Amino acid sequence: MRTILIIAAKEIREGMRNRWVLATTLLMATLALTLAFLGSAPTGSVGAGALDVVVVSLSSLSVFLVPLIALLISHDAIVGESERGTMLLLLSYPLARWQVIAGKFAGHLTILAFATLVGYGTAAVALAGSGRLDGTAGWPAFAALICSSVLLGAVFVSIGYFVSAMSDQRGTAGGVAIGVWLLFVLIYDMALLGLLVVDQGRTVTPEALNALLLLNPTDTYRIFNLGGTASAVAGMGIADQSTLASGTLMLALLLWAAAPLAATMLVFSRREP
Amino acid sequence: MKPTILLDGVSKSFGAIRAVRNVSLALAPGEIVALVGHNGAGKTTLIKLMLGLIRPTEGVVRVLGGDPSTDAEVRAAFGYLPENVAFNPALTGRETLHFYSALKRAGREQVEGLLERVGLAEAAGRRVRTYSKGMRQRLGLAQALLGRPRVLLLDEPTTGLDPALRRDFYRFLEQLRDDGATILLSSHALSELEGRADHVIIMGRGEKVADGTLDELRRLARLPTRIRIRLAEGERRDGFQGSWRAVNGRMLEIDAAPEEKVALVRAAMGAAIADLDVVPPTLDELYAHFQDRQDLDR
């Protein structure tokens, strides 16, 4: 455990040194503030709470942004260190290889959680400060948004590590990471929509659709945030057709984070530095 | 004495490349071992095998009685300096050493002393990004010396060190050796290892070509010792015929086989000479000899 913490602390320190933490937090805060103030202009006519609108627009944004940031941080974590030559020295120390992965994961996830909490939190606090919030109704959904965003980040950090552990060169890892992002964020949904349009509900039952949505962590995340209290204003895409419970969705995301991480540890323990 | 590092019939292949072939060796506590060989002779692979970073395709590696690839206890006793050592450029030298000392449970209080020792005390607060190659090498050395290692594996340790630091470095190694550490150095600078290495292992194309003390290797190689004399004023060289060659003016030299060495020196002493040098074969020459012999055997 101590070894994991030492490695995590080093990752966080490095993240602060090379301005990763700062840049990510600023990016998230800027976008969240923009959405909070510009996006909440028409709320009066719809009648939804200001925070609910922010949750909807922020989750639509996070679906693109969080996986991108997570993959950017993680795709280099293993192959980059191998290529620079720091991994060889690290592995000669008294530690197990899975501890290296676990430590990096803890460190990177902390950075991501900090950026999300501070970035999105700033927007919520600013909204509350400007007096646009009526009551506390939107807060649970907002807290769920932050938690699920961090979990979505964990999923893609974990996938990024797997890509990194499988790659021989940093360039390869970067390319594959971009491919993974495109696949989960854009291509999968387009293909699914196309399928539904062509199929017209003949063979794709609601259960099959649920399963297909759980197979993509970004869809799982989207349903989790848009299918809850904010569903009244969601009204888009395929999200509101789904009938998945939020517990199932969370579990799916947890599995999506755990499986690639375990696979990474397995691959990495066999890799020859 | 029980050997610290024991390799028994170790081979390692990377795909079709056989990097190390059937190597057996034993390194004792309290000795400085020189591992020499051309590029690609398998030195670095051998060191990685000892560290447990890679596993042998065949054979057994034992360090301090354990398997270094699975036993973290064993690796806690290591100090390792890789060839071309690299550090994260965003951290300072001091932060880097703090990180490694924590991983080794070595205690932070060692860090300042080691920084001082390798001449980085002033640069310790600067980021590694700004360090020269020599400074990085010194930081690498400091990292290897954390926690009083019982086994030091140093891959090309003195590249980038200035002569004063180099001397200090070897003195420090000798202290560690006298405390009972096993120190393995791989190097191209053979002349530097002469007189410092208690034990020499020569590698060639993945095989162990020679293994022993410098004296043992000299005896094995049967390389001639060079005897060089300068005749005194007025002395004629009539007494020195045969294989004696004249080198510029009054100097004469001969390559003496081990068994004629003493007789030749005695004969030289009988004449009026102004100076006498007896030069045993250097490590460089021994190395070349064993390399050539391996080439002939193929």
What average pLDDT does this structure show over B120-130?
92
Given this model, what pLDDT does residue A240 score?
Answer: 46
- Is the ipTM reported for this complex over the cut 0.90? no
The residues spanned by each domain of chain B are 5-218, 224-280
Q: Which residues of chain A are within 8 Å of residue B99 when distances are taken between CB atoms?
A: 6, 10
Rounded CA-CA distance B87/B273 in Å is 58
Residue A30, CB-side half-sphere exposure with 13 Å CA sphere: 7
What average pLDDT does this structure show over A49-59?
78
Q: Does the CB of B80 have a partner CB in chain A at under 8 Å?
A: yes
Per-position DSSP letters for A51-81, written without gaps between them: HHHHHHHHHHHHHHHHHHHHHHHHTTTTHHH
Model confidence at A99: pLDDT above 90 = yes
- Which residue among B72, B80, B102 places its CB closest to the CB of A89? B80
How many CB atoms are closer than 10 A to CB A136?
10
Query: pTM of the entire structure?
Result: 0.86
The residues spanned by each domain of chain A are 2-269
Q: Which residues of chain A are within 8 Å of residue B73 when distances are taken between CB atoms?
A: 94
User: Would you give the distance in Å from CA A84 to the centre of its chain?
Assistant: 27
Q: How confident is the model at residue A42 (pLDDT cuts 50, 70, 90)?
A: low
Given this model, what pLDDT does residue B286 score?
Answer: 84
Tens-place pLDDT, residues B158-168: 887 888 888 88
Rounded CA-CA distance A235/A52 in Å is 13
Strands B58-63 and B78-81 turn out to be unpaired
Q: Does the CB of B75 have a partner CB in chain A at under 8 Å?
A: yes
Q: Which residues of chain B are within 8 Å of residue A90 when distances are taken between CB atoms?
A: 103
Model confidence at A237: pLDDT above 50 = no
Tell the CATH topology of B5-218. Rossmann fold (3.40.50)
What average pLDDT does this structure show over A73-80?
93
Segment among A32-41, A186-195, B117-126, B247-256 with least mean pLDDT: A32-41
Model confidence at B223: pLDDT above 50 = yes
Asked if A49 contacts A132 with a C-beta cutoff of 8 angstroms, the reply is no
